[in-house]
Amino acid sequence: MARAFNHYGWKVSPYTAKTRAYLTYQSFRFNDIEPTALALYGQIKPQIGRIIMPTVKLNDGQWIQDSSNIIDHFEENGCRLSGRPSGPVQAFASSLLEVFADEWLPMAALHYRWNIEQNHEYALNEFSRSGFPWLPRLVGRRLIRPMADKMRSYLPVLGVSQVTIPGVEETTLATLTCLNTQLSQTPYVFGWRACIGDFALFGPLWAHLYRDPGSRHLFDSFPAVREWIDRLKTGYQADGQFVENDQIPAALAPLFALIMDDQWAWINTLVTQIDRYCSDTPDARRVPRALGVAPFTIRGLPGERKLITGVQWKAQRVRRCYDAAPDHCEAWLRTLPAHDGKRQRVIPTIKNRLTYHEHAMVLEAPLTTPSMD
C-alpha cells in the first residue's frame, strides 16, 4: 500500500477544500494537515516562495502548489475515476465551471465572509485556531489579523463594492438555484461521477458560504446542494458515469449563460491587455501580476476590477478544451439562453500563453502569425 503523502491547508481555504474533496473522492491516502504559522513561514514559504495553500508534498520530496496543478498531477498519476469527462463538450463545460469557481465566485466568498460581521469574527477565530493553536484565542487573533486584513483587502481588487454587491448576491443565488435543480436529478453536476467542476464549486461554497455561520442560511432553500456538499465531504461514489452522449444538463444552462456573459467578457478584456503588454514589451519573459484596473459588469452592474494576469492561465485550460472540438463547443454555446439577444460569447484565442516554472508564472513563447510570402 502506498505511503500517505502530505496535503497542507486550512479548513477556511476554498482551494484547500477543492483539493481535499478531490483527494478524498479518489480514495488517496494522505495526511490532511492544517499548517501552523510556523510551518507556513518555516516550511512552505522556503519551498514555494510565498505563503499559499493548498500545497502537497509528495513522498519523493516534490512540492506542488495551486489547486489545479495538484489535481492535474493526480489525474495523470493514478486516480481511480478521472474528473475529466471524455466527451469534449462536457470537458469544456467542466473547465468553465472550474474557472468560474476559482476566479469569479471568490467575489461572493469574500463578500459574505468579510462584509458580514458574524462571519468576520468566525473567520478570525478560525485563522487563529489554525495558525496559532497553542496560544489563547485573543492572542492568536491579534497575531493573525494582518493575514485576515490582507484577505479582506482583496474585496476591491476583485471588484466588490456597494454598487456590485447586488450583482454578486444575484450570482450566488443563480448558482445555487441551477445547482439545486440539477442535483435533485443526479448526485453530481454531470451525472453519477464527480467532475473537476464539482470539486471547484465545492471549494468556495463549502469553505466560505456554508461553513461560515452568517451565510449558511443561504442554503436553507437548496436541500440538493446540501446533500451534494455532504457527498463531496465524504467522497461518495455512485456508479461512476457521466450523462450520456456528451450532453450538458439543461438545468445548468442559465448558469453557463451567466458565466459567459459576465466572467468571459472580463476574461476577454484581460487577454487583450496581456497581448498589448507583450506587444509593447517584446522581450518580456514574464508579465506583471496585475496590469492596472479595467471596468467590468456583474449582472449588469458596473464596477472596476484589477487585471490579475494569472487568471489567463486558468482561461488557457478552457481554451485547450474548446480547441479539442470547437464546432461542438460552439454549437452548445449557441444553445445557451441570451438575456438581450445581442451578446457575442467568445472564448478568446490566447497568443501569449502563461505557464508555471519553479512555482512562478512565466510566458511561453508567443504564437506567431504565419508569413503570407
β partners of residue 354: 363
Please give the mean pLDDT across all residues of the chain: 93
In this prediction, residues 158-185 reach a mean pLDDT of 98
pTM: 0.94
Distance CA 53, CA 313 (A): 18
pLDDT digits 0-9 by tens, 94-140: 999 999 999 999 999 999 999 999 999 999 999 999 999 999 999 99
pLDDT for 9 equals: 97
Q: Is the pLDDT of residue 180 over 90?
A: yes
**15: which 3 cell numbers?**
482551494
pLDDT for 207 equals: 97
**Amino acid identity for residue 70 in this structure:** I
**170: which 3 cell numbers?**
444575484
Distance CA 216, CA 232 (A): 17
DSSP state of 353: -
